[in-house]
Amino acid sequence: MHDKSVQKTSYNLDMNANQALLNRSLASVWHPCTQMKQHETYPLIPITKGEGVWLYDANGKRYLDAVSSWWVNLFGHDNPRIKDAIKAQLDQLEHVMLAGFTHEPVVELSEKLAKLTGLGHAFYGSDGASATEIALKMSFHFWRNSGQPNKIKFISLQNSYHGETLGALGVTDVSIFKDTYAPLLTQSAQMPSPDFRLAEAGEGAEAFALRCADALETYVAAYHKSLAAFIIEPLVQCAAGMGMYHPIYLKRAREICSKYQVHLIADEIAVGFGRTGTMFASYTDCDAACTASNCCKNIDCRPDFMCLSKGITGGYLPLSCVLTRDEIYQAFYDDKITKAFLHSHSYTGNPLACSAALATLCIFETDNVIQKNQETSDFIWQKMQAFNEISITNLRRPNSNQSGMIFAVDIVTKNPNFARDCYASALENNLLVRPIGNTVYLMPPYTIDREEVEHALKASIHATSRACK
Ligand SMILES: *Cc1c(COP(=O)(O)O)cnc(C)c1O
């Protein structure tokens, strides 16, 4: 660690260094998901340090990271266990190509993920979107290898988000990301979303989910001969403003896909690793201690493909993974080279990223995280009720077993710049929240303590009421 005097000096320089860094950033970095011109009025924030749920800017001001740095951070910044695991791996092997070579971290990680999901083979990429691409290509290629070359189309849910590379954007349904690029994209059809906010007045969550599932079945029954896969975000459509739905929809989707021979791709990039109250949202009846293969004895609720990323390394390094069933893997296993899955990324299975993922899984095991999260979730939920004092609707958390670590409220306001104003106001009060439209959500690191929860709620409610004006 730096000693205090050094740190103080660097803070004193900050006012200049700070502005200089912002200027250099604006001159050289093209920031993601941003109209860069808006930084004329909303300055970038230079972050110099992270610790636990806190991010520290160059002036030493801190912000509670209530969005887990875009949903990736599970166990806080500067987590000693993940950091040590990466350091140890760094002394051993930083990287080796995974074609023709293998290494302990990637093997161990694949074994562990197989055990947790009941999906026997793991293929790696570096980002969520690349996992979506891999799953789509694999599904298509499976049908081709299996003598069904007409199964080439994909379906997804209305308001779905699966990433922003061209293939992933083709199955995404968020117009602000998609419309500009429409001429470049492969067409896909969108099924009615079971997001409970879209239900008719008076309709229950389960009844609505079943009605949407019936619509899915009607479509799949008519078009299954040309359908390769249905890709879905299990339980929560996060980018759609944390649209949550009843788990019965997943069960029905699995049945329908099996009945008509259409793959089910579970995009657990955001919801995986405990966000919905179970290790994976696809297995709503499982807890962390039970593996998918032994807790789904009666119904086989496994998807055909599962995409993982974001929290997989605890937010430390880019890594994504597509898990699939051994039967699917077998359809590529042949003397013919073209039957193989000839897809690669340079950093496939990077050992440092895998070591971070192994440390993350180890924390889940040794700290009983899923069980502990239930308490944290209940405490946050209780504190969330204070939102009821301002104009809101749909206070919610995942619908599986009323736990999970995603919390959302839809704000009723006439302010067209609500999201931006709320974000800015929260920052003033030491909180990082990024509303999606009029939805304010918290998706904090699991390590958040009670005092920090109280701060997050107080600051988010304050920011919300100010931004409503
Ligand atoms: C974030 C996200 C992706 C894309 O992941 P990137 O790493 O941003 O490419 C895909 N699907 C879902 C559900 C996501 O939340």
pLDDT per residue as tens digits for the range 90-117: 999 999 999 999 999 999 999 999 999 9
More confident residue, 394 or 167: 167
Residues 377 and 363 in one domain: no
Residues 101 and 221 in one domain: yes
Mean pLDDT of the 14-20 span: 73
- For residue 102, give its domain range: 80-367
Strands 153-157 and 189-191, bridge-based pairing:
parallel
Q: pLDDT at position 4, please?
A: 38
Q: Which of ligand 1's atoms lies nearest the C-alpha of 318?
A: 7
323, 344, 367 - which closes a domain = 367
Q: Give the chain's radius of gyration (CA, Å).
A: 22
CA distance 96 to 302: 32
Which of 69, 231, 310, 322 for mutating ligand 1's site (highest number of atoms within 8 Å of CB)?
A: 310
Residues 282 and 142 in one domain: yes
Ligand 1 centre to CA of 183 (Å) is 22
User: If you average pLDDT over every residue of the chain, what do you get?
Assistant: 93
The pLDDT confidence band at residue 394, using thresholds 50, 70 and 90, is confident
Q: Which of ligand 1's atoms lies nearest the C-alpha of 309?
A: 7
Q: pLDDT at position 163, please?
A: 98
Residues 417 and 352 in one domain: no
Mean pLDDT of the 244-255 span: 96
Mean pLDDT is lowest, of 110-124, 203-217, 291-305, 389-403, for: 291-305
- The protein residue with its alpha carbon nearest to ligand 1, atom 5, reads 128
Ligand 1 centre to CA of 239 (Å) is 9
Which of 133, 161, 280 for mutating ligand 1's site (highest number of atoms within 8 Å of CB)?
A: 161
Residues 21 and 167 in one domain: no
276-296, pLDDT tens digit by residue?
999 999 987 654 444 555 555
CATH number for 399? 3.90.1150.10
CATH number for 118? 3.40.640.10
pLDDT at residue 47 above 60?
yes
Q: Is 137 helix (H, G, I), strand (E, B) or coil?
A: helix
Q: pLDDT at position 299, please?
A: 59
351, 367, 383 - which closes a domain = 367
Q: Which of ligand 1's atoms lies nearest the C-alpha of 237?
A: 13
CA distance 409 to 418: 13
Please tell me the pTM assigned to this model. 0.95
Residues 55 and 191 in one domain: no
Torsions phi, psi of 271, nearest 5? -90, -15
Tokens of 406: 């995603």
CA distance 441 to 425: 15
Q: pLDDT at position 393, please?
A: 80
Residues 51 and 101 in one domain: no
Residues 60 and 139 in one domain: no
Closest CA to 269 of 227, 228, 238, 225: 238
Ligand 1 centre to CA of 13 (Å) is 37
More confident residue, 289 or 417: 417
Mean pLDDT of the 346-369 span: 98
367, 401, 416 - which closes a domain = 367
Q: pLDDT at position 409, please?
A: 96
More confident residue, 457 or 297: 457
Ligand 1 centre to CA of 155 (Å) is 17
Give the number of other Cβ atoms within 10 Å of residue 242's Cβ. 26
Residues 409 and 307 in one domain: no
Closest CA to 54 of 373, 449, 457: 449
Mean pLDDT of the 216-231 span: 98
DSSP string, 311-371: GGGTTSS--EEEEE-HHHHHTT-SS-GGGS-----TTTT-HHHHHHHHHHHHHHHHHTHHH
294-334, pLDDT tens digit by residue?
555 555 789 999 999 999 999 999 999 999 999 999 999 99
CA distance 353 to 358: 9
Q: pLDDT at position 10, please?
A: 36
Number of domains in the chain: 2
The pLDDT confidence band at residue 424, using thresholds 50, 70 and 90, is very high
